[in-house]
């Protein structure tokens, strides 16, 4: 009798899981990092609360290829979503790249003021264009880290500057600053620094540490070059296979996890900045004149980006209006 009961329970569990919706998510983040730990914990909660009807499987470390390869695999159903930089969705909503405008923000307080007013617009547009997200994730301010000290515009131009492959906005920002970038995948950066193929890159402190790039650079230029953001995006077609009842559970848990990560990334980037200094990375500061020159050039670069169609004049003006409001306070 006991054996029969155990067999029935085993068959019930098998049947339950065979009918489950499994969402396969790719990311360039290595396994064991905070973002994956928190999302895996959220996935475990979802599994428990849906009684195994909704499962998540993560593919870390870029094993599924670069961002374009991941998008192709999502289109054919091999994957269902990814944790990616928002710039990857430029094709579906150009104005979602406004946060990446070079030197647009001068502080995290300014970022918060604008994000409170525009994040929901970005999330809504992604939803309309076929992508379910749970909010945006702060990537943080990207700082220039380099093998050689960079404390002037001319020294910046002299660097062998890396940008990610399939990152159109970064390529166009580089061109707007008249910088000829070297385009490589994330997995190639460390080796390229070792061999001298590149000697500079812009990255948030936490990414510089997580990807181990800090072991190959010596200097950090203390000027936030651009703000970065990411998101966990799932193809609507795959997400719609989850029942209405279970989608409520997934939404609640993953929105909470995303908000936790958004806050945590701010704290972690501040800590990572200090950690870089503790690892012997030397901080380089530009003179007031050099800083003013670069800030003025960033305005010209943003005008060029608008002309290239990377984001609209309307949204750029709106964000600048919000920033003016905040700075006047």
Give the pLDDT confidence score for residue 1 in this predicted structure.
52
**What's the token pair of residue 8?**
């029935």
Compute the average pLDDT of residues 122-132: 96
Q: Which CATH superfamily is domain 2-328 in?
A: Bacterial extracellular solute-binding protein, family 7 (3.40.190.170)
User: What is the enclosing helix (H) or strand (E) of 36?
Assistant: helix 34-49
Separation of CA 205 from chain center: 13
Residue 8 has pLDDT above 60, yes or no: no
pLDDT tens-digit readout, 18-59 = 579 999 999 988 888 889 999 999 999 999 999 999 999 999
DSSP 154-190: HHHHTS-EEEETT-HHHHHHHHHTT---EEE-GGGHH
Per DSSP, what are the bridge partners of residue 146?
200, 219
Compute the average pLDDT of residues 255-265: 95
Contact by Cβ (8 Å): 70, 26 = yes
pLDDT tens-digit readout, 310-325 = 999 999 999 999 999 9
Give the pLDDT confidence score for residue 275 in this predicted structure.
96
Q: Round to whole Å and give the CA distance between 314 and 177.
A: 22
Residue 11 has pLDDT above 80, yes or no: no
Sorting pLDDT into bands at 50, 70 and 90, what band is 252? very high
pLDDT tens-digit readout, 82-104 = 998 888 888 889 999 999 999 99
**What's the token pair of residue 121?**
């617009």
Give the pLDDT confidence score for residue 68 in this predicted structure.
82
Residue 166 has pLDDT above 80, yes or no: no
Give the pLDDT confidence score for residue 99 in this predicted structure.
95
Instruction: Report the b/e string of 120-155 with b at 16+ CB within 10 A.
Output: eebbebbeeeebbbbbbbbbbbbbbbbbeebbbbeb
Mean pLDDT of the chain, nearest integer: 91
Instruction: Please give the sequence-ordered ranges of beta strands (E in DSSP) within the chain, or none if there are none.
Output: 21-27, 54-59, 81-85, 131-133, 137-146, 161-164, 182-184, 200-203, 219-235, 282-284
Start-to-end CA span in the chain (Å):
75
Report domain extents, the chain: 2-328
Give the pLDDT confidence score for residue 144 in this predicted structure.
95
Give the pLDDT confidence score for residue 52 in this predicted structure.
97
The percent of residues in the chain predicted with pLDDT above 70, rounded, is: 95
pLDDT tens-digit readout, 271-302 = 999 999 999 999 999 999 999 999 999 999 99
Residue 16 has pLDDT above 50, yes or no: no
């Amino acid at each position: 009798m006991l054996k029969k009961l155990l067999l029935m329970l085993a068959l019930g569990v098998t049947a339950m899981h065979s009918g489950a919706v499994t969402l396969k998510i790719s990311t360039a983040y290595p396994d064991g990092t905070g973002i994956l730990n928190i999302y895996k914990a959220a996935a475990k909660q979802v599994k428990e609360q849906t009684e195994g009807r909704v499962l998540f499987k993560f593919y870390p470390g870029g094993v599924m290829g670069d961002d374009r390869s991941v998008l192709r695999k999502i289109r054919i159903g091999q994957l269902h979503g990814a944790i990616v930089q928002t710039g990857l969705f430029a094709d579906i909503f150009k104005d979602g790249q406004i946060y990446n405008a070079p030197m647009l923000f001068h502080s995290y307080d300014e970022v918060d003021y604008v994000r409170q007013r525009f994040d929901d617009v970005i999330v809504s547009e992604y939803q309309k264009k076929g992508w379910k997200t749970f909010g945006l994730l702060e990537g943080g301010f990207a700082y220039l880290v380099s093998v050689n000290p960079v404390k002037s515009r001319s020294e910046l131009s002299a660097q062998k500057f890396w940008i990610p492959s399939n990152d159109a906005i970064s390529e166009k920002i580089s061109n707007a600053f008249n910088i000829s970038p070297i385009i490589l995948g994330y997995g190639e950066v460390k080796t390229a620094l070792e061999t001298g193929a590149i000697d500079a890159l812009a990255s948030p402190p936490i990414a510089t540490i997580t990807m181990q790039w800090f072991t190959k650079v010596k200097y950090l230029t203390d000027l936030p070059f651009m703000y970065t953001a990411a998101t966990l995006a799932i193809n609507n077609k795959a997400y719609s296979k989850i029942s209405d009842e279970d989608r409520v559970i997934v939404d609640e848990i993953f929105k909470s996890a995303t908000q936790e990560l958004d806050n945590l990334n701010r704290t972690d980037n501040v800590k990572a900045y200090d950690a870089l200094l503790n690892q012997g990375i030397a901080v380089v500061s530009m003179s007031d004149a050099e800083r003013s020159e670069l800030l003025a050039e960033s305005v010209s670069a943003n005008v060029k980006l608008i002309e290239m169609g990377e984001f609209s004049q309307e949204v750029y003006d709106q964000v600048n209006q919000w920033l003016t409001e905040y700075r006047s306070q």
